[in-house]
Structure 1
């Protein structure tokens, strides 16, 4: 987008300023209005109009005021811009540190990925009304604090890194759960750019490793008809060996920094999953480490499932039943149903599967859970 504006306007600084203004306007208006069908076309149009307005004003003022001296910048402060990737620049721009992390992530997902409020709410596992309030509060803070959005200089990138990595992983996760290869590949491409831009940030390498290791199993996790294939039933010959090798190498590099963060630990768990046989005891211990640095309900659920695989369904179920905040998350009820079935508590398992089916969103998940229910009902006749 920035390159297109530069070609159209013949002035890099003008094009950059116009894009910043377009991003700022998007963050002010999109939270309270419907996101355009083509967010990039909208941003390009607004940026072009803003630039033309500036040019007109400049021509009118030229005879009255001397032109200001050009701002001096060094190449070390412009590496993000020099990278030439408009979408990555937009993500860093939107992840403004003055906003709460959840708010800036939601706003960035709207501006960059074009997700609706309902889709973002499902991603955050919150009600759409709560997400809408979050966006309104963020918009109000932008207005009241006079926050301006501009592509940050390189020395400001580290303070925005966690927000950027969070956005990229959410984009990847959406592509993974909806079988949208374009979203997965775009998140991977941008993640690799971040890792190249910030080579001393282990979490950047950890995220790319995590996405590669998950993506390596994409071809095996759904049938040709789009039905879910459970991990233990996947055909390992369909796994992408090149992505696994690349992910392992990046993970090894990230681990050399020591003190692994959440994305590095997630990548370690993903790496253990692609090994054979799977060491569930080791996975359980890594999840215990992850719970110290990222004690989220979803991590608690995944830890409980790993405990069930290592120590038996009763131990896992006891942990699941202590988790709060995931009542509307279909995977919690699906996992609980599976453990209840393994404990031969059939009636409770049917009820849990039925609730999971009601809460599931993607067609593949709904078909899988419907199949489980039919199988239980038929075998119970």
Structure 2
């Protein structure tokens, strides 16, 4: 049976206008819900029609939960994360979800409760942190949990080793992988790696869910490099190379049960844009039906070497704080890297820092500054 095709449910009127014909045509076989969307960040109460839709799809066994703000790889556990898990447990008791996923990487560190999604170097301490958080997720939900591939990279190795990193984190709990095809393509474009080879570096037999979206381009002019960087911003059309990569992924992921098409609602203001997005959604429905009929043998994936011991948990927490602080307080890559070299990572992570892409450093600095939230009371010990 081919995977279900569905969408990430949003609550704004432009999104509702865009998707209403797709519901009428019976093309939305599943819903994914950003389960923490109204938990203090947006402070929005979902409208009544949203609650009815969620209940309806939950009754049909076609509702999937997705988290955004837990910050899975934050080394120093924050009180707000404990509160987040309690809210999650309550939500999963109130409404059945087939599975729940969160994002790989971290957004919170030290007194920062939010920034942009950031990578960590693959190391034993980071794997231990990730395993602990996934186990906490599983205890809160009582069901299958997984992690979504991270789009953002600071160095090429963040993309190259992410598959091994994720497999090491997910293995003890048999967690699943959310493979966001646009995220993989974004990594490939920004690092100069072949998208198909990067795709096959992930543990594809763990994939239960695929995401596909559009994005946008940006330039970090201060970095002295005019090459554009790709953003996973969910605000553009589905590009042909991304659709091709989706077709490839469908043949390589034998356990995939769901494909989610994502788009930010505020980018669907005009009827022309809404019509284009609906056409792309229908194209994904057709592609999934066709691709699933002729599966490709999955790539074999195995991890034998243990992760390197770069930093312990306490040093990793300090590095995270120093990284987020530098990104929020500085804008130029040279200043950011100088601060990092002078910090806890300066010696032990120097080879890693030396490979940072200045374009990506400045891009993530801009995003971190935009999203940063600061609360000194949230700083705690490393568990």
TM-score (normalised: structure 2) = 0.29
TM-score (normalised: structure 1) = 0.29
Structure showing greater radius of gyration is: 1
* More helix, by proportion: 1
* More strand, by proportion: 2
**Greater RCO, CA 8 A, separation 6+:** 2
